[in-house]
Chains A and B, each alone.
Chain A
Amino acid sequence: MEWDALLLSRLQFAFTIGFHIIFPAFTIGLASFLAVLEGLWLLTKRAVFKNLYLFWVKIFALSFGMGVVSGVVMSYQFGTNWSVFSAITGSVIGPLLAYEVLTAFFLEASFLGIMLFGWKRVGPGLHFFSTCMVAIGTLFSAFWILSANSWMQTPQGWAWAEDGTMVATNFAEVIFNPSLPSRFAHMVLAAFLTTAMVVAGASAFALLRKKALAESRVALRMAVLMMALVTPVQIMAGHESGIVAGEHQPAKVAALEGWWTTRTQQPTVLIGWPDEEAERNHFELVVPGLGSVVNNAESEDVLPGLDQFAAEDRPPVWITFWAFRIMVGMGLVMLTLGIWGAGAWALKRLDAATWYHRALVLAAPSGFVAVLTGWITAEAGRQPFVVYGVLRTADAVSPVPAGSVATSLLFFIVVYSIVFSAGALYILRLIAKGPESDEPAPQSNQPPGTPLGAAIEEAP
């Protein structure tokens, strides 16, 4: 392994997007949660919903801010580090990213201002409208970025132009490429579940400490409902995503399943230690034949193993294999907690189930872990290609010296560590404090400097 611009650029991209993705994953779900809370409040006029809104909107503002700044970084890295990729694919996925800016980013950024600071300046209807616009903006954004990313996974609707760049022959095919529907559904549901796990953890923590009881009970129920209903759907969406990958990206599936040999009746490798040198798994624990069943194959169907692909065309097996297992593990954790919660709720024991509350606090980050490892599975599984089967990552990198990339990577690590640990600290502090239970008295004389604080006090 050589520390050249290619490796450093890959590390930098992985590092910056790994940090970035957890914020959109959280804010997509949180924005919809806030819209639901505000809608329920307008409908029922119950103070709990308003108190919950005002609590979670603070956490939303912090996360959204971090998502924005780390997202601006992403939008420039295509050019700075992957300029050859940009030059070649610009005519195909450029428009998708342009549409993301035009339909999503401005919508989110503009209405966020009203959402946070507009309590006294617009009526409740317009305020609710702004919250909905922010929520819709996050979903639009997810759609376009996943369309572009899915096209990189399952490219279609393009052709080579004379100058060696790609052009779209059919934009509908580019946008609605084969892996988009399942990957978009999988990502949005992942965002909802990520938020549900954090909300559940924070509410359980408050209940354990006997704080803001009415609010925490309501929020816990909303989160449990989400977990119990959405986790099974999410598992199906993930399954569908895997089936599509099996059709279009067999090397990725072979790597994440840990299949080295092409055969019928592929096993499910529960755990194991893939060894790329020896081309086998050490210490593996398998269920024979189950892999083929899970991948919707008949018993006589031959499913490709990694031996079908030349060594230089295989994704990094160890990373893909383990990232996939951790993601699935987190999904099982969420499923268990969803069923457990629904059961406790049905038995009217949800508020007193102390062990359940403790488990929820512990599992609060499980959504983030699942999103990160799921993303690693998808992206590492696409290697060694940046556009699957078409353009190699090694051929996509910018002509920049390794020293420049090393410098930027080093600074990113330092800056992200400072900024995002501070952000995490502030969010955890807010969660530890919990939602306000009773209405704060409105003050006419606002302190000018704490806009968010003021926004909270201005709330009707």
Chain B
Amino acid sequence: MFGIELSLVWAVLIAVAVFLYVALDGFDLGVGILFPFAKNARERDQMQAAIAPVWDGNETWLVLGGGGLFAAFPKAYAALMPALYLPIFLMLLALIFRGVAFEFRHHGRERGRKLWTVAFSGGSIAAAIAQGLVLGGFVQGIAIEGEVFVGGPFDWLTPFSLLVSASLVAGYALLGAAWIVFKTQGELAERARRWVKQLALLTALAMGAVSLATLGVDARVTERWGLTMTSVDWPVFIKLAPLPLLAGVILFLMWRGIEERKFLRPYLYAVCLFLIGYVGLAVSLWPFIIPFAMTPADAAAADNALQLMLCGALVMLPIILAYTAFVYWTFRAKVDDDAAYH
């Protein structure tokens, strides 16, 4: 249609949708993860108010990611979903609790309120853990024969996926803390600044650990990076070395942003950090849509389906991004000191 492979276009579009999900719902989930560290009910209210108007739109990117995978790559979807059955259901159940808690927390009385407070943070933590397990299970590859998943129900449960899971919890918490710095002020914002610093270090360590562990997942990854436990293939590695270096620079900038009391920058740097991890992952797994088993071309839907959807996406995505931006702009104020903006 445009002289490039349609399946590739869709692979990129879905990758972008998933990244937008991580960057946006990541801070929603992060706020939930940090809920237990709030000092009192008022702080928890502030934290929730910082995300209440936008969480639903953020979560829709997850539906686009899942729905897009179904529509554009039905074979990949059909192989992946049964393989990751249990962590996906854990995620869905967790998202149910977390999603309803936004409204329910304000309708519950004494005990109900406590229950939905716990459900909100518990749901956020469990959703992050489950997404980490899904990602870990995905990266390590799944057992496929022909086009069908043939492994067991717990194949995804490995030390590797648990490590990815823990890292994602730390990373989401970092996004959440940086968002709290952006959206609140006073004591809570001060504390969130400290959280950002601590979580930035933790996330950096976790990303390093996951990166090293990913090298061990498959010989093809090791080859791509030119790194083994004992030797470095410098000509290969030097081309990719900017990625970890850039991560270091961003970490430094984030630190300075916090010291200089910038509002939005820590969050943007945190997103950049995720982006680097994401690109690193893409480099490791390229050209597979299911690691080491299926490429986008193998899994793609019929061309006319991809074309029809591309027409829709080319028209709708700019509109969606425009009104999403409008909604964020509408709620640009800090949640605490409402009056100052009106």
Contacts and interface: CB of A to CB of B under 8 A. Distances in A.
Given A90-B70, A419-B96, A95 B149 contact: no
Interface string A401-424: 101100110011001100100110
24 contacts: A73-B96, A78-B81, A83-B79, A90-B70, A94-B301, A97-B71, A98-B309, A103-B316, A106-B324, A114-B330, A118-B330, A121-B330, A167-B305, A168-B305, A171-B304, A398-B81, A404-B153, A407-B89, A408-B86, A416-B96, A419-B97, A422-B100, A426-B108, A429-B107
A91 to B, nearest CB: 4
B147 A415 contact: no
A19 to B, nearest CB: 11
B181 interface: no
B323 interface: yes
A284 B330 CA distance: 62
A76 B92 contact: yes
Nearest to A121: B330
B53 A451 contact: yes
B335 A419 contact: no
Contacts of A99: 309, 312
Interface string B16-54: 000000000000000000000000011011101100111
Contacts of B257: none
A-B pairs, top 7 by smallest CB distance, nearest first, are A449-B45, A90-B74, A79-B81, A94-B71, A113-B53, A87-B78, A83-B78
Given A110-B324, A110-B327, A415 B93 contact: yes
B85 interface: yes
A91 B313 contact: no
Given A79-B80, A451-B53, A161 B64 contact: no
Interface stretch (B55-63, B229-237, B264-272): B55-63
A453 interface: yes
B77 A449 contact: no
Contact of B71 (A65, A90, A120): A90
Contact of A97 (B52, B56, B70, B73): B70
Interface in B85-135: 85-86, 88-89, 92-93, 95-97, 99-100, 102-104, 106-108, 112, 116
B171 interface: no
Contacts of A426: 103-104, 107-108
B112 A120 contact: no
Q: Which range holds the interface residue count of chain A?
A: 35 or more
B309 A95 contact: yes
A75 B330 CA distance: 30
B88 A399 contact: no
Contacts of A114: 53, 327, 330
A116 B55 CA distance: 13
Given A86-B78, A109-B60, A445-B339, A171 B85 contact: no
Interface string B274-307: 0000000000000000000000000001101100
Given A103-B316, A113-B331, A167 B304 contact: yes
A16 to B, nearest CB: 9
Contacts of A80: 81-82, 85, 88-89
Contact of B86 (A79, A171, A407, A422): A407
A411 B81 contact: no
A86 B77 contact: yes
Contacts of A87: 74-75, 77-78, 147
Contact of B66 (A76, A100, A412, A429): A76
Contact of A79 (B82, B93, B147, B335): B82
A66 B95 CA distance: 11
A40 interface: no
A66 B101 CA distance: 10
Interface string A12-41: 000000000000000000000000000000
B238 interface: no
B242 interface: no
A75 B66 contact: yes
Contact of B53 (A68, A69, A75, A117): A117
B74 A91 contact: yes
B273 to A, nearest CB: 26
Contacts, number: 264
Chain B CB count within 10 A is highest, among A88, A112, A450, A451, for A451
A15 to B, nearest CB: 13
Interface residues of B, number: 80
B72 interface: yes
Interface of A: 61-62, 65-66, 68-73, 75-76, 78-80, 83-84, 86-92, 94-95, 97-103, 105-114, 116-118, 120-122, 161, 165, 167-168, 171, 398-401, 403-404, 407-408, 411-412, 415-416, 419, 422-423, 426, 429-430, 444-453
Given A70-B96, A117-B52, A399-B149, A95 B308 contact: yes
Interface of B: 41-42, 44-46, 48-49, 52-54, 56-57, 59-60, 62-64, 66-75, 77-82, 85-86, 88-89, 92-93, 95-97, 99-100, 102-104, 106-108, 112, 116, 147-150, 152-153, 301-302, 304-305, 308-309, 312-313, 316-317, 320, 323-324, 327, 330-331, 333, 335-336, 338-339, 342
A326 B320 CA distance: 41
A122 B150 CA distance: 54
Given A90-B71, A451-B49, A69 B89 contact: no
A35 to B, nearest CB: 17
A389 to B, nearest CB: 21
Contacts of A62: 103-104, 107
A288 B75 CA distance: 51
Chain B CB count within 10 A is highest, among A66, A102, A103, A419, for A102
Contacts of A452: 103, 106
A161 B60 CA distance: 32
Contacts of A112: 56
Contact of B323 (A73, A75, A102, A111): A111
Contacts of A84: 78
Contact of B100 (A73, A79, A89, A419): A419
Given A72-B62, A415-B97, A449-B41, A122 B56 contact: no
B156 to A, nearest CB: 12
A259 B304 CA distance: 42
A406 B338 CA distance: 49
A237 to B, nearest CB: 28
B305 A106 contact: no
Nearest to A430: B107
A110 B149 contact: no
Contacts of B80: 79
Given A75-B63, A429-B107, 16 more contacts: A65-B99, A78-B81, A79-B82, A83-B82, A87-B75, A94-B309, A98-B68, A101-B63, A102-B312, A109-B57, A110-B56, A113-B52, A404-B85, A415-B93, A422-B104, A451-B52
Contacts of A91: 74, 301-302, 304-305
A89 B301 CA distance: 9
